[in-house]
């Protein structure tokens, strides 16, 4: 019987993860099955226990369960430990479950390898302080930006996250309303506002000359944030489809020990 993997979230029907991992399996000659599970908002832990109890080998975790997955894991990878959020669960041989976070690695790889943007020395603004932003903040800092500013609707959450990241690089937290005349080279949307077609309102001046805008969300059409950023001065604006594929590739590597060709899958999804 093929090894069983799945993605869990709520909502989940839109997820491209099953297609991505099945293509990875085909490209690397791996025998596995990958499905999707609609997680119960009140009984996430039971859903995970049922999956692994029935022989599941690995699980991707998406909105809104990443922080619950962090609390559930018996063992944590370094990025997950710092982030307080998990997007990859792996069954260990001793029956325990390991939690990792591959979101940040996926984001960095998409920006640097696929988009050709060197983060070193850049002024970076990260919008949001929830599970998505927690997962990418440390890997972003490890690329040595000039500064990483985390801005959130609730300023205290942004400052708390920045405090947790002291020692990894130059980082500060503030409220969205505290952004006035600062300019950035890269603005990353890590909020869930796009699910409702909304965008976090920031001043036009935040988009410095040649600035990049990156939405961690993805869609068939330009996302609300990508469209808004293009209208407000971003020189380049892209969605998170590449990040989705790259973080999936890192999860696949953790599970199977082989790294698939992401370029092929990104092009297939774009078309």
List domains and CATH numbers for the chain: 3-100+243-270 (3.40.50.10860), 104-238 (3.40.50.720)
**pTM confidence score:** 0.93
Nearest to 203 by CA among 189, 182, 227: 182
Q: Are the beta carbons of 58 and 29 closer than 8 angstroms?
A: no
Detail the residues annotated as belonging to a binding site for shikimate: 15-17, 62, 87, 103, 218, 247
Q: What is the pLDDT of residue 192?
A: 80
> pLDDT class for 271, splitting at 50, 70, 90?
confident
The average confidence (pLDDT) of the chain is: 95
| Phi-psi group of 218: left, alpha or beta (phi > 0 → left; psi -120 to 50 → alpha; rest → beta) | beta
Shortest CA distance to 183 belongs to which of 150, 155, 142, 211?
A: 211
Please check the confidence at residue 195 and state whether its pLDDT lies above 80. Answer: no
Catalytic residue flag (residue 66): yes
Rounded CA separation 242/108 (Å): 10
Catalytic residue from among 66, 122, 209, 267: 66
Q: Binding site residues, as ranges?
A: 15-17, 62, 87, 103, 128-132, 152-157, 216, 218, 240, 247
- Give the integer Cα–Cα distance in Å for 171 and 254: 29
The answer, yes or no, to whether residue 194 has pLDDT greater than 80, is: no
């Amino acid at each position: 019987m093929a090894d069983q993997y799945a993605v869990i979230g709520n909502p989940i029907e839109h997820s491209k993860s099953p297609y991505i991992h099945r293509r990875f399996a085909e490209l690397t000659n791996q025998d596995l099955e990958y499905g999707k599970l609609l997680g119960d908002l009140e009984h996430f832990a039971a859903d995970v226990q049922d999956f692994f109890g029935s022989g599941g080998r690995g699980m991707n975790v998406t909105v809104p369960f990443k922080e619950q997955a962090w609390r559930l894991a018996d063992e944590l990878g370094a990025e997950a430990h710092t982030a307080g959020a998990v997007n990859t669960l792996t069954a260990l041989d001793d029956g325990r479950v390991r939690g990792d976070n591959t979101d940040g690695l996926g984001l960095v790889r998409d920006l640097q390898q696929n988009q050709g943007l060197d983060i070193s020395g850049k002024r970076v603004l990260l919008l949001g302080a929830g599970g998505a932003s927690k997962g990418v903040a440390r890997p972003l800092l490890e690329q040595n930006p000039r500064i990483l500013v985390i801005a959130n609707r609730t300023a205290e959450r942004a400052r708390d996250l920045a405090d947790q990241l002291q020692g990894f690089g130059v980082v500060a937290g503030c409220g969205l309303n505290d952004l006035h005349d600062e300019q950035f080279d890269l603005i990353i949307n890590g909020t869930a506002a796009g699910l409702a077609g909304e965008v976090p309102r920031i001043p036009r001046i935040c988009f410095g000359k040649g600035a990049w805008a990156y939405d961690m969300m993805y869609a068939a059409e330009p996302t609300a944030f990508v469209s808004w950023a293009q209208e407000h001065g971003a020189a380049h604006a892209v969605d998170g489809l590449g990040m989705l594929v790259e973080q999936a590739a890192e999860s696949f590597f953790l599970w199977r020990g082989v790294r698939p060709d992401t370029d092929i899958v990104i092009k297939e999804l774009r078309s």
